[in-house]
Chain A
Amino acid sequence: MRESDKERVLVEVVHRTFNHYTKDPRRTEQALFDTLYEERLRLETEGNRTKAKKQGAFYRRIHKEALRASPARQSELLKEVIQAFADEVAGHFDPRVFALATRVVPPALSALLNTLSPLRLLTAIPTGMATLNDQIVIEGETEAFKAAARMGTTVLVSTHLSNLDSIILGYALFRLGLPPYTYGAGLNLFANKMIGFFMHNLGAYKVDRRKKAEVYKHVLKTYAGCTMELGYHNMFFPGGTRSRSGAVENRLKMGLLGMSLDAYIHNLLAKKTRPDVFVVPCTLNYQLVLEAETLIEDYLKAVGKSRYIIEDDEFSKPNRVIDFFTRLFSLDSRIHMVVSKPLDGFGNVVDEQGRSRDHRGRVVDRERYVYQNGSPAFDAQRDQEYTRELASSITKAFHRDTVIKPTHLVAYSILDWLWEKCPGMDFYRVLRTGGPEESIPMTEAYSRVDRTLGTLREFEQDNRLRLDESIRGKDTGAVVGDALAHLKSYHRRPALLRRGDRLFHIDRNLLLYYHNRLTGFGLPTWEKPQ
């Protein structure tokens, strides 16, 4: 982001957030004290003591003064807090590092993803790209995506399984010839110093998910919206966090998503020549997921009460990352990124000429959606509903463009068999003990996989999902073999293991994780234990 733009964004973020909370003096007071409470609570568990001390002093001062302050002074204090949040989110941007980063990061990333030894890492940089090009497959509506990026601002929204996703997306954007995207990266990404350094300088802004204050969240989304208005392409994960269960996201966070429409209306009101903000969904698809063990464990610990921020997962352990890629690539396993058709802020598909189309393919004048009495206007309730429509189109695209890999297919089929063998048994007990049958005959496994595959092929014909090239046209034996090779290769314990003519379920949590990728597609299933 240009320095001048950064200043414009910061001024606008503070101004809009401040206005939002000061329309009603009672709201101002509440926002201020709620923020102070949330922040002081957070600081109690802040690991960085220097930071905690500095921020603690800041909040103590604000709090002390706020208790006796007039409404006008309380507003000023709130503004100080908002300014501090905004400064932290925007971070420091160094154009020199940006120039270096755009030159160095892609080959460095390539090398990282090839997980070579340090020596080879250095020597492989020139040739690493070719290998990576083969390993990461980008398909789908790439031309429409690039066209959208030429005609307006794009917001890339992706499914989210792993912390590697943002790196893969960054690389994919580079390969598509697109500029770096503005990205709200979690603090845990910045914990990896090298990645964090480049992240910051490739347009990433810092998101501290431990900050629960509503004012902070408002600053974050306003920041994203303002960058969109200035034409900076954005990227985020609308699911909010990595899918803990392994399933494709079907519920999205509305706040940040709604900023694409907000920016569009702002642009229309400002009579910009290129007002459009297009949302481009995409999916990332892996045979194996780096953090699968941690994620599913977290999911199972308290369904719906995830720890949310995991800082000690596989991503934070370089050896695991290297091991992951070595094994993945030694199995000739490809990562698929599928780009869906761009959407407007109302969920309509946008064609390569930038025109919105309805379900029947008729051209839609999208500007008219935001008209009130003949001209563009904001309407919070209406715009929230529009964003729900957009979210619905995104989740449909996520499902349609999910690539089902052998690990998903086999895990789904075998776990379905397991549910069937454990009628009436507690869900967690099945996962823990595996029920009465510790293995399934291979012939039965093949037949189960065949059955699921038959349905999946029908689904693919109906454009409800995509089957991986390693499934399409392959016989069941080869597909199962491929899945088993993956499932026993990287994780600490294999999910499934073949011994003789039987298939043993070893790590059922992992099995559940890979199985879950296929939930939400309407496959007929044996009733899951409760």
Chain B
Amino acid sequence: MRKQANLDVLIVGGGSFGTALATLLSEMGKRFEMWVRREELAQEINTQHTNTRYASGHTLPTDIRATTNLEQAVERAPTILMAVPSRSFREVARAVGDTIQGDQILVHTTKGFEIESFKPMSTILREETCTLKTGVLAGPNLAGEIMAGHPAGATVASHYDEVIDAVQDLFRGGRIRVYGGHDVVGTEVGSALKNIIALAAGISDGMGFGDNTKSLLLTRGLSEMARVGVALGADVFTFSGLTGVGDLMCTCASSLSRNHQVGERLAKGESLDQILNSMTQVAEGVPTTEAVHRYATSKGLDLPIVRAVHTILFQNGGVADTIAQLMQLPVGDELAALRYR
């Protein structure tokens, strides 16, 4: 029998979004803990109330308590929010899976796929834990803006109403409006693929192009996101929501977006290695581009923007040449790929 839960929620991950979530939950007076891998970070959060690596410039609320004991933390929480990067997701999920039980709720906030397998995070949760009540929380939520106290919105998608209700209850009355949905695949695809389009938007900004260009990229990018989603079984309408258009607008327009920053710096001539080595945080769009490009190639999906970003990132394609090639592609019915399903 599980020990009596005395937390409302556990946040797994001490990165920028995990810290932003902790700030929100603190504002609402929730009982929670934050699991972080490194002891030094736990100490910094607990004693200095800062997270200089992932939330520099922000002082954290004093009730945010970090721990490195995952087993104990998981046992105490009825709901667990996973905010870890895709590259370490499986490993952390497996560790959570050593303790979690079937009545607990497990929701991830990771925007990406596992590169080798092209599996979304919800599949990894299913493979690495026994819990079935899983979900994804996503939307236009730049961590910096949340930390700065701005209002925002998000979507929690799960096959289980209980999961949707639990997550909505956690954030109810706060400054983030959490909508519910059942399209887990669509939500995950939208959240992951918009990072690729954000790279493209950054490249466009870096080249000094204006809003016309960006609008073209965003709209056609959205179409590519929806194409991948539909191929994986998503509802095309999900892409008109917060985790589709919403997240896309946010991440492509904001200079706070890490993916946007990578794109911009690429256009200005820096190499990908240089850029990634200089960053303390993960730009999920980079591994996601690789995973999506491989998937699209194997399935015969036509994704010109994804292909162009892949060329620039991994095939040393010149930015100007690649954009020129993109503009030379034949044009057809704008919505043909989505209309006749």
Contact with A along B123-141 (1 / 0, CB 8 A): 0001111101100000000
Asked if B101 and A362 sit within 8 Å, CB to CB, the answer is: no
Given known A359-B126, A362-B130, contact A385–B94 (CB-CB < 8 A):
no
Complex formed: what's the CA distance from A368 to B162 in Å?
Answer: 15
Contact with A along B154-193 (1 / 0, CB 8 A): 0000011110000000000000000000000000000000
Does B241 sit within 8 A of A, measured CB to CB? no
Given known A360-B97, A362-B98, A366-B102, contact A381–B160 (CB-CB < 8 A):
yes
Taking CB atoms, residues of chain B closer than 8 Å to A369 are: 102-103, 132
Asked if B103 and A368 sit within 8 Å, CB to CB, the answer is: yes
- Tell me the minimal C-beta distance from B142 to chain A in angstroms: 32
Residue from the list A364, A371, A382 in contact with B160, Cβ < 8 A = A382
Given known A382-B162, A385-B160, contact A364–B130 (CB-CB < 8 A):
yes
Most buried by B among A366, A370, A372, A382: A382
Does B2 sit within 8 A of A, measured CB to CB? yes
Asked if A348 and B130 sit within 8 Å, CB to CB, the answer is: yes
Asked if A371 and B162 sit within 8 Å, CB to CB, the answer is: no
Asked if B102 and A368 sit within 8 Å, CB to CB, the answer is: yes
- Tell me the minimal C-beta distance from A343 to chain B in angstroms: 13
Q: Which size bracket describes the interface of B in this complex?
A: 10 to 19
Residue from the list A364, A368, A386 in contact with B2, Cβ < 8 A = A368
Residue from the list B98, B127, B128, B159 in contact with A385, Cβ < 8 A = B159
Does A437 sit within 8 A of B, measured CB to CB? no
CB-CB nearest in chain A for B78: A373
Does A365 sit within 8 A of B, measured CB to CB? yes
Complex formed: what's the CA distance from A385 to B160 in Å?
Answer: 7
Asked if B133 and A360 sit within 8 Å, CB to CB, the answer is: no
Q: List which A377-429 residues lie within 8 A (CB) of chain B.
A: 379, 381-382, 385-386, 388-389
Given known A360-B128, A382-B162, A389-B132, contact A365–B94 (CB-CB < 8 A):
no
Asked if B130 and A386 sit within 8 Å, CB to CB, the answer is: no
- Tell me the minimal C-beta distance from B299 to chain A in angstroms: 13
Taking CB atoms, residues of chain A closer than 8 Å to B128 are: 359-360
Most buried by A among B98, B102, B128: B102
Complex formed: what's the CA distance from A365 to B104 in Å?
Answer: 12
Asked if A388 and B102 sit within 8 Å, CB to CB, the answer is: no
Complex formed: what's the CA distance from A365 to B103 in Å?
Answer: 10
CB-CB nearest in chain B for A348: B130
Asked if A360 and B102 sit within 8 Å, CB to CB, the answer is: no
Asked if B97 and A382 sit within 8 Å, CB to CB, the answer is: no
CB-CB nearest in chain A for B126: A359
Complex formed: what's the CA distance from A288 to B209 in Å?
Answer: 67
Does A324 sit within 8 A of B, measured CB to CB? no
Residue from the list A358, A359, A379, A388 in contact with B162, Cβ < 8 A = A379
Does A346 sit within 8 A of B, measured CB to CB? yes
Contact with A along B76-104 (1 / 0, CB 8 A): 00000000000000000010011001110
Complex formed: what's the CA distance from A388 to B184 in Å?
Answer: 15
Taking CB atoms, residues of chain B closer than 8 Å to A389 are: 132
Complex formed: what's the CA distance from A371 to B162 in Å?
Answer: 12
Complex formed: what's the CA distance from A343 to B162 in Å?
Answer: 24
Q: Which size bracket describes the interface of A in this complex?
A: 20 to 34
Complex formed: what's the CA distance from A388 to B94 in Å?
Answer: 23
- Tell me the minimal C-beta distance from A377 to chain B in angstroms: 10
Taking CB atoms, residues of chain A closer than 8 Å to B133 are: 382
CB-CB nearest in chain A for B94: A360
Q: Is the interface of B mostly helix, strand, loop or mixed?
A: loop
Complex formed: what's the CA distance from A389 to B101 in Å?
Answer: 16
Complex formed: what's the CA distance from A165 to B55 in Å?
Answer: 64
Residue from the list B97, B98, B101, B161 in contact with A368, Cβ < 8 A = B101
Asked if B102 and A364 sit within 8 Å, CB to CB, the answer is: yes
- Tell me the minimal C-beta distance from B70 to chain A in angstroms: 15
Asked if B97 and A358 sit within 8 Å, CB to CB, the answer is: yes
Taking CB atoms, residues of chain A closer than 8 Å to B2 are: 368
Taking CB atoms, residues of chain B closer than 8 Å to A348 are: 130
Complex formed: what's the CA distance from A372 to B162 in Å?
Answer: 10
Taking CB atoms, residues of chain A closer than 8 Å to B132 are: 346, 369, 385-386, 389
Taking CB atoms, residues of chain B closer than 8 Å to A385 are: 132, 159-160
CB-CB nearest in chain B for A369: B102
Asked if A358 and B160 sit within 8 Å, CB to CB, the answer is: no
Most buried by A among B103, B130, B132, B159: B130
Taking CB atoms, residues of chain A closer than 8 Å to B98 are: 362
- Tell me the minimal C-beta distance from B101 to chain A in angstroms: 5
- Tell me the minimal C-beta distance from B196 to chain A in angstroms: 27
Taking CB atoms, residues of chain A closer than 8 Å to B160 are: 381-382, 385
Complex formed: what's the CA distance from A372 to B103 in Å?
Answer: 7
Taking CB atoms, residues of chain A closer than 8 Å to B162 are: 379, 381-382
- Tell me the minimal C-beta distance from A409 to chain B in angstroms: 26
CB-CB nearest in chain B for A379: B162
Contact with B along A18-55 (1 / 0, CB 8 A): 00000000000000000000000000000000000000
CB-CB nearest in chain A for B162: A382
Taking CB atoms, residues of chain A closer than 8 Å to B94 are: 360
Q: List which A281-315 residues lie within 8 A (CB) of chain B.
A: none
Asked if A371 and B130 sit within 8 Å, CB to CB, the answer is: no
Asked if B159 and A388 sit within 8 Å, CB to CB, the answer is: yes
CB-CB nearest in chain B for A363: B130
Taking CB atoms, residues of chain B closer than 8 Å to A388 are: 159
Complex formed: what's the CA distance from A381 to B128 in Å?
Answer: 24
Complex formed: what's the CA distance from A370 to B132 in Å?
Answer: 11
- Tell me the minimal C-beta distance from A140 to chain B in angstroms: 24
Given known A381-B161, A382-B160, A382-B162, contact A358–B129 (CB-CB < 8 A):
yes
Taking CB atoms, residues of chain B closer than 8 Å to A379 are: 162
- Tell me the minimal C-beta distance from A128 to chain B in angstroms: 47
- Tell me the minimal C-beta distance from B29 to chain A in angstroms: 21
Taking CB atoms, residues of chain B closer than 8 Å to A359 are: 126-128
Complex formed: what's the CA distance from A388 to B158 in Å?
Answer: 14
Taking CB atoms, residues of chain A closer than 8 Å to B130 are: 348, 356, 358, 362, 364
Taking CB atoms, residues of chain A closer than 8 Å to B159 are: 385, 388
Asked if B161 and A382 sit within 8 Å, CB to CB, the answer is: yes
Complex formed: what's the CA distance from A348 to B130 in Å?
Answer: 8
Complex formed: what's the CA distance from A385 to B162 in Å?
Answer: 11
- Tell me the minimal C-beta distance from B214 to chain A in angstroms: 39
Taking CB atoms, residues of chain A closer than 8 Å to B103 are: 368-372
Q: List which B249-300 residues lie within 8 A (CB) of chain A.
A: none
- Tell me the minimal C-beta distance from A355 to chain B in angstroms: 12
Taking CB atoms, residues of chain A closer than 8 Å to B126 are: 359
Taking CB atoms, residues of chain B closer than 8 Å to A366 are: 102
Complex formed: what's the CA distance from A293 to B77 in Å?
Answer: 58
Complex formed: what's the CA distance from A362 to B98 in Å?
Answer: 8
- Tell me the minimal C-beta distance from A79 to chain B in angstroms: 31
- Tell me the minimal C-beta distance from A275 to chain B in angstroms: 15
In order of increasing CB-CB distance, the 6 nearest A-B pairs are: A369-B102, A358-B130, A371-B103, A368-B102, A364-B130, A368-B103
A-B contact pairs, 20 of them (CB 8 A): A346-B132, A358-B129, A358-B130, A359-B126, A359-B128, A360-B94, A360-B128, A362-B97, A364-B102, A365-B101, A365-B102, A368-B2, A369-B103, A369-B132, A370-B103, A371-B102, A381-B162, A382-B133, A382-B162, A385-B132
Given A358-B97, A360-B97, A388-B159: 18 more A-B contacts, CB < 8 Å: A359-B127, A359-B128, A360-B94, A362-B98, A362-B130, A365-B101, A366-B102, A368-B101, A368-B102, A369-B102, A370-B103, A381-B161, A382-B161, A382-B162, A385-B132, A385-B159, A385-B160, A389-B132
Interface of A toward B, CB cutoff 8 Å = 346, 348, 356, 358-360, 362, 364-366, 368-372, 379, 381-382, 385-386, 388-389
